[in-house]
Amino acid sequence: MRHDVGVRFVIQQHQARSLHFDFRLEAGGVLKSWAVPKGPSTDPREKRLAVQVEDHALGHAGFEGRAGAGAVIIWDAGTYRSLTDGPVEDAIAAGHLSFWLEGEKLRGGWTLQRTDDGAKPQWLLVKRRDEEADAQRDPVATEPESIVSGRTIETVE
């Protein structure tokens, strides 16, 4: 049985102390969130560090602008469906979640695999080998604009 068909995901590029991407999946009435320093890769050979951070309210999915001293843009968004049996929250608690993204920039299968527990659990975000995988494509570098406003992180006031 597949759960959470068509629930939201959002990836916000965030210039805080360092530039990173906040990868968020709607689950259990909140946005489960990971900070991905290098952003997602469409190359299945690349494993990207994803540090789990606090859950965010669902309303945060639409935020673009300034947050404290940092700028935030909505880099990608869309819906996702779990490829893992059972509730998404259970898969996250168990440390392994596979899902399919239907975003404006990112599509296809992905896996989050926890590699280290602790105050800020570390995970790997990996693109699955499917028809959407593309080792030549680098959307982080070539598609820096917000899908909402068209602005880049540098132009947010």
- Structural domain count, the chain: 1
User: What share of the chain in percent tops pLDDT 70?
Assistant: 96
On the question of pLDDT at 1 being above 60, the answer is no
On the question of pLDDT at 48 being above 50, the answer is yes
Range of the domain at 39: 7-155
Of 3-7, 131-135, 141-145, the range with the lowest mean pLDDT is 3-7
Kindly state the average pLDDT of the residues 12-27: 95
Question: Does a structural domain hold residue 110?
Answer: yes
Q: What is the pLDDT of residue 6?
A: 65
What sign has the CA pseudo-torsion 108, 25, 82, 96? positive
Question: Does a structural domain hold residue 50?
Answer: yes
The whole-angstrom separation of Cα 80 and Cα 111 is 12
Question: Does a structural domain hold residue 53?
Answer: yes
Mean pLDDT score across all residues of the chain: 94
132: left (phi over 0), alpha (psi -120 to 50) or beta: alpha
Question: Does a structural domain hold residue 85?
Answer: yes
More confident residue, 153 or 67: 153
Q: How far apart are the first and last CA of the chain?
A: 45
| Alpha carbons within 13 A on the beta-carbon side of 96 | 3
Question: Does a structural domain hold residue 99?
Answer: yes
DSSP state of 69: T
Question: Does a structural domain hold residue 2?
Answer: no
- Other CB atoms within a 10 A radius of the CB of residue 17 amount to 8
More confident residue, 37 or 17: 37
Kindly state the average pLDDT of the residues 63-89: 94
The residue type of 118 is G
Kindly state the average pLDDT of the residues 30-43: 98
Q: How confident is the model at residue 157 (pLDDT cuts 50, 70, 90)?
A: confident
Q: How confident is the model at residue 69 (pLDDT cuts 50, 70, 90)?
A: confident
Question: Does a structural domain hold residue 58?
Answer: yes
Non-local CB neighbours of 98 within 8 Å, separated by 6+ positions? 82, 83, 84, 109, 110, 111, 112, 128
Q: What is the pLDDT of residue 2?
A: 40
